[in-house]
Amino acid sequence: MTGHLKISAALQGANVGKVWFDEPISRHASLKLGGRVDALVMPESEVQLAELVRRLKENHLPFLPVGNLTNILVRDGGYRGALISLRGLDRAVCAPAENGRFRIEAQAGAALGRIVGLAADHELTGLEFCAGIPGSVGGAVWMNAGAFGSEIKDVLVFADLIDGEGKKKTLRREEIAFAYRKSNLPANVILCAACFSLSKGHPAQIRDRMAEIVKWRQEKHPLQYPSAGSVFKNLPGMPAGRLIEELGLKGRRLGDVQISKKHANFMINKGQGTASDMLKLIRLVQETVQKERGFFLETEIVVIGEES
């Protein structure tokens, strides 16, 4: 049996939410490229999520949780297993907390944009730096998303998750190790929800800062093309984009994938781009950096799946 038939058999009769079998990930990922996944499953409740994980584990089928797929490159050979999309779990609430502070509790699939808006509606400051980041709460915590000198770890109080054994757990922020664009949470952990601590701010200042950040992104980033944001991690004191530009690679194109002329740390899909072209461009950048500057430039995007 091929992958999608195995998953179909394992999920037979189960109520696990929306399921797409043998699905081109290009229909869902922000890059609009990449191969087919055996199954993309989108539970709409925690009960459905638990049942889905139970069935997949019982049948020894590989899976990976995903959010908005804005930081993932799926190789052209596709992903063998189930991608569990958390987008169907998207509740978010705001409530007062101790010491005059406030908390936003959000399910993993809630869009960052929504919780940034929720914070602003309640006149809360602390999440403005996330304005314009197109990911989900789960992806932002797993990746420790950040911008303008702030990171998601700075506002996180705790995260609810399902661990590798399928057990539900709550981890306080201090129990998770965060670094630049990464956490020590293993790939098989499913973040279900997160709680953020915020303080009262000035409504106009909050809205102005959000608008300023969104304007900055519109000016600096090639937002009219599909992308996965920054491809490479910045170095201390040297943005990866500037390095790529200095090495003369800005604008370099392979097939329909191009190192953006607007921002050299973005690779854009100009129509019929493939993961293979993007991976070749990534290697070209890494080899050039290694040769010219003597170090390895690490990717920020997560690459999964098989070669075609």
Ligand X SMILES: Cc1cc2nc3c(=O)[nH]c(=O)nc-3n(C[C@H](O)[C@H](O)[C@H](O)COP(=O)(O)OP(=O)(O)OC[C@H]3O[C@@H](n4cnc5c(N)ncnc54)[C@H](O)[C@@H]3O)c2cc1C
Residues that bind ligand X (CB under 6 A): 30, 64-72, 86, 108, 133-136, 138-140, 142-143, 145-147, 181, 189-191, 221, 223, 227-229, 302
CB closer to ligand X, 221 vs 250: 221
CB closer to ligand X, 145 vs 155: 145
Which one of the listed residues 87, 173, 181, 252 is annotated catalytic?
Answer: 181
Q: How far is the CB of 106 from ligand X (least distance, A)?
A: 11
CB closer to ligand X, 136 vs 274: 136
CB closer to ligand X, 136 vs 276: 136
Q: How far is the CB of 182 from ligand X (least distance, A)?
A: 10
Q: Which residues contact 218 (CB under 8 A, 6 or more apart)?
A: none
Q: How far is the CB of 276 from ligand X (least distance, A)?
A: 19
- Confirm if 9 and 38 have CB atoms less than 8 A apart: no
The count of C-alpha atoms lying within 13 angstroms of the C-alpha of 175, restricted to the half-sphere facing its C-beta, is 9
- Confirm if 193 and 158 have CB atoms less than 8 A apart: no
Q: Is 181 a catalytic residue?
A: yes
Q: Is 54 a catalytic residue?
A: no
Which one of the listed residues 26, 230, 260, 276 is annotated catalytic?
Answer: 230
Q: Is 217 a catalytic residue?
A: no
Cα 159 from chain centroid? 16
* Cα–Cα nearest to 227, from 189, 261, 177: 261
Cite the active site residues: 181, 230, 300
